Amino acid sequence: MNVKLRLGIMMFLQYAIWGAWAPVLSAYLKETLGFTGFQFSVIYSLLPLATIIAPFIGGQVADRYFASQKAVGFLQLIGGILLVIISNVTDYTTMMWLMLFYCLLYAPTLALTNSIAFVNLKNSEKDFGIIRVWGTIGWIVAGLVLMGWRFTAKSFEPIAFGGDTFLLAGIFSLIMGIQSFTLPHTPPKKDATKPWAFLEAIKMMKDKNFLVFIIIAFVVATELMFYYILTAPFLTSEKIGLSEAAVPGVMVIAQVAEIFVLAILLPYLITRIGIRNILVIGVLAWPARYIIFAIGKPAWLVIASLSLHGFCFVFFFAASFIYVDMVAPRDIRHSAQSLIILVTYGIGNYLGSLFAGWIHDKFTIEEVTNWTTVFIVPCVLTILCALAFLFFFKPKQTAVPLKKG
């Protein structure tokens, strides 16, 4: 089988697993199991926490002592079994510990699959984006499959299952565990980078612009979790009125927009308006979305605003990685990328998960959530980020030059 095809299937399954549970899990935990906002925010915080710990697992064990494809296969097979077990768990404490164990298995595979792709692509700079897009497609397909499953279950009750979101993720994980052993052989690197090598990049924060960028990226990452954790229960609330079965399919609007912005708009605009303006547009999209969520009507506008995720995510986070690669000295680029991942996907998402759950509970009285007040919080914080970006972030290098040939 063609190498690119195998790598594309790998990315498809890697993000189908995540996409099967992340967008809709909070609605299941709140509406079906009766978890509080703090409880389901802790569940969501476990993957960011595992992302912080993952360099030890992926870098020191999997990437050094085992071929990467075998490490991914082992981690996904064990993870798949765990997800199937978790799908039958309704107790918070039991689920929390099992999810922590699962996330410690899944987090290293995010870096390992990227590594497998980079090593085995002849022209990774040109081809990686195409391979990575299959991950977003996998996320979309997982949402549509879950929606189809739930609608079918209404007329065919035997397949109705409360923990379907975990079960579907487990099925994808088991399939990927098997598929991983068909991937190109990617031997371990005995001289792998030290897990704390990103600390070398801290000296970059002596530059005022980079320091401003890091601080804003951290705050925006905390507010990302308001979207990931609270959108599903918000859409199923009386304010919007979507059925729990419809939510997985509706939420893939965000990923469809993400593909469009990533594949078409970002490559077209970045050479024309520059990386700073791309980042500015990205950070402005955040309060725009949360303003619409706070207003909460009409429902069609709230649903349509999910498409702003393409700009929120791609024009800020994807563009952030490009900016870091542009400004980091060549000998510490890997460390600089590790730093931004730690600040955003690690610490930012972890604290943001707990913060979103706390805000949810603070403005929920007798099981009725004041969604307007809840979303005003990330709206205000992202507006402050946008203003800080406009006034204080003025890097010298603002454009990505067109490559000749």
Q: What is the sign, positive or negative, of the torsion defined by CA atoms of 103, 104, 110, 112?
A: negative
- Specify the CATH class of 1-189 in words: mainly alpha
Place of tokens 């320091």: 211
Question: What are 18-29's pLDDT values in tens digits?
Answer: 999 999 999 999
Count Cα neighbours of 308 within 13 Å in the Cβ-side half-sphere: 20
The arrangement of secondary structure in 196-405, i.e. its CATH architecture, is Up-down Bundle (1.20)
Give me the residues paired with residue 342 across strands: none
State the pLDDT at residue 341: 82
Query: Which residues 6+ apart lie within 8 Å of 43 measured at CB?
Result: 25, 29, 35, 95, 96, 99
Rounded distance, CA 120 to CA 175, Å? 21
Question: What are 43-96's pLDDT values in tens digits?
Answer: 999 999 998 887 666 555 555 677 889 989 999 999 999 999 999 999 999 999
Cis peptide before 298 (omega within 30 of 0): yes
State the pLDDT at residue 280: 87
Domain boundaries, the chain: 1-189, 196-405
Q: What is the pTM of this model?
A: 0.83
Walk along the chain (405 residues) and give the pLDDT tens digit of each residue.
Answer: 699 999 999 999 999 999 999 999 999 999 899 999 999 999 999 999 998 887 666 555 555 677 889 989 999 999 999 999 999 999 999 999 999 999 999 988 887 888 788 888 887 667 777 888 899 899 999 999 999 998 898 887 777 677 899 999 999 999 999 999 999 988 876 555 555 555 667 778 888 889 999 999 999 999 999 999 999 999 999 889 898 889 999 999 998 998 888 888 888 888 888 888 888 899 899 999 999 999 998 999 999 999 999 899 888 888 888 888 788 877 676 667 778 888 898 999 999 999 999 999 999 988 889 999 999 999 999 999 989 988 888 876 544 444 433
DSSP letters, 109-125, are HHHHHHHHHHHH-TTHH
- For 306, other C-beta atoms within 10 Å of its C-beta total 22
Quote the tokens at residue 381: 């914080």
- For 55, other C-beta atoms within 10 Å of its C-beta total 24
Count Cα neighbours of 272 within 13 Å in the Cβ-side half-sphere: 5
Question: What are 371-381's pLDDT values in tens digits?
Answer: 999 999 999 99
- For 326, other C-beta atoms within 10 Å of its C-beta total 14
Rounded distance, CA 230 to CA 239, Å? 13
Would you say the CATH fold of 196-405 matches that of 1-189? yes
Q: What is the sign, positive or negative, of the torsion defined by CA atoms of 337, 341, 343, 344?
A: positive
DSSP letters, 291-330, are HHHHH--SHHHHHHGGGGHIIIIIIIIIHHHHHHHHHS-G
How many residues are there in the chain?
405
Whole-angstrom CA distances from 13 to 172, 318, 322 are 6, 21, 25
Count Cα neighbours of 135 within 13 Å in the Cβ-side half-sphere: 17
Q: For the chain, how long is the longest CA-to-CA vector?
A: 64
DSSP letters, 328-344, are S-GGGHHHHHHHHHIII
Rounded distance, CA 42 to CA 187, Å? 36
CB 288 within 8 A of CB 308: yes
Rounded distance, CA 225 to CA 369, Å? 17
Helix (H) or strand (E) holding 365: strand 364-365
